[in-house]
Amino acid sequence: MLRYVIRRLLTAIPTLFVIVTISFFLMRVAPGGPFNQEKGLNPDIKANLERVYHLDESLLMQYLRYLWNLVRGDFGPTYTSPDFTVAERFANGLPVSIQLGGMALILALLIGGALGIIAALHQNKWEDYSVIATATAGSTIPTFVIAPLFQLFFALSLKWFPVGGWGDGALINKVGPVLTLMLPQLAIVARLMRGSMIESLHSHHIRTARALGLSDYAIIIRHALRGALLPVVSYAGPAAAALLTGSVIVETIFSIPGVGREFVFSALNRDYTMVMGTVVVIALFTISFNLIVDILYAVVDPRVRYD
């Protein structure tokens, strides 16, 4: 197992390298630069700025410099807020996104999983249909419709929650963002759970367990659920990576200072180092969570073995 993990971590290095290379050059090919937006910038000042950030060097040189700094763990300075380095901006934004995304993910897995099991146990009854209806609605209505509607009803009309803002992480400020982040995930988890649970309940070992007279609880929780968890686990990996690295829509609508929103605005402002940093962080999250999923496979399903 340990050897497998080490091998996977080693193969992640070339993947990261390719991702960094592609996004570096893709961004540089795009027209515009970090200092083009400021109107009437004196050419001398611009030249000085570019020299400070090594933007006057050849592209290849800049690329090698970036790679070297990255290997040493230095993400570089940001162009849009000179007082902060990229690492410092992550230190501010990432905890915010991780908190929101993590809560949304855990709630989605728990509630979605429970709903899926309930639906599967009452297949083609009203419980099932209401779960399917919820899941369809949750996965169809886009976040940028749900979020303003939430603000309209619960914040502006009923005044239960603040309309937006982080409020230094007050729980009441997190309700809206977490709910809107959670809903689409909950829908997909419920649907996956329902499907695989139905399949699992029809399998031979469950029939055997019933024949042996085990209690419903033991059959469902200990035997059926275990086999049914695999599709949910494999979905949860990439979903976790996406959720924890922030959602631009939710963060924009609720004015949350997370990394998702910053990523988009950095890309628009050609804040090269900030964008590259985010790409690397997202890739690291994706790679780690895919690895965690594969390890969890072996935990959940004893038929899966790595050596």
Q: Which parts of this chain interact with another protein (CB under 8 A)?
A: 15, 18-19, 22-23, 26-27, 29-32, 136, 139-142, 144-145, 147-149, 151-152, 156, 248-249, 252-253, 263-264, 267-268, 275, 278-279, 282-283, 286-287
Task: Output the smallest distance, CB 22 to another protein, in A.
Answer: 6
Q: Which is nearer to another protein, 9 or 18 (CB)?
A: 18
Task: Output the smallest distance, CB 235 to another protein, in A.
Answer: 15
Q: Which is nearer to another protein, 176 or 220 (CB)?
A: 176
Task: Output the smallest distance, CB 55 to another protein, in A.
Answer: 17
Task: Output the smallest distance, CB 188 to another protein, in A.
Answer: 13
Q: Which is nearer to another protein, 279 or 296 (CB)?
A: 279
Task: Output the smallest distance, CB 139 to another protein, in A.
Answer: 8
Residues whose CB is less than 8 angstroms from the CB of residue 21 and which lie 6 or more positions away in sequence, other chains included: 63
Structure tokens belonging to residue 167 = 């409020």
Residues whose CB is less than 8 angstroms from the CB of residue 79 and which lie 6 or more positions away in sequence, other chains included: 34, 35, 53, 269, 270, 271, 272, 273, 274
Q: Which is nearer to another protein, 19 or 96 (CB)?
A: 19
Q: Which is nearer to another protein, 31 or 40 (CB)?
A: 31
8 Å CB contact between 269 and 37: yes
SS (H, E, C) the chain: CHHHHHHHHHHHHHHHHHHHHHHHHHHHHCCCCCCCCCCCCCHHHHHHHHHHCCCCCCHHHHHHHHHHHHHCCCCCECCCCCCCEHHHHHHHHHHHHHHHHHHHHHHHHHHHHHHHHHHHHCCCCHHHHHHHHHHHHHHHCCHHHHHHHHHHHHHHHCCCCCCCCCHHHCHHHHHHHHHHHHHHHHHHHHHHHHHHHHHHHCCHHHHHHHHCCCCHHHHHHHHHHHHHHHHHHHHHHHHHHHHHCCCHHHHHHCCCCCHHHHHHHHHHCCCHHHHHHHHHHHHHHHHHHHHHHHHHHHHHCCCCCCC
Residues whose CB is less than 8 angstroms from the CB of residue 76 and which lie 6 or more positions away in sequence, other chains included: 66, 69, 85, 86, 273, 276, 277
Q: Which is nearer to another protein, 225 or 273 (CB)?
A: 273
Task: Output the smallest distance, CB 176 to another protein, in A.
Answer: 13
Q: Which is nearer to another protein, 63 or 144 (CB)?
A: 144
Task: Output the smallest distance, CB 39 to another protein, in A.
Answer: 19
Q: Which is nearer to another protein, 31 or 213 (CB)?
A: 31
Task: Output the smallest distance, CB 241 to another protein, in A.
Answer: 10
Q: Which is nearer to another protein, 272 or 297 (CB)?
A: 272
Task: Output the smallest distance, CB 220 to another protein, in A.
Answer: 26
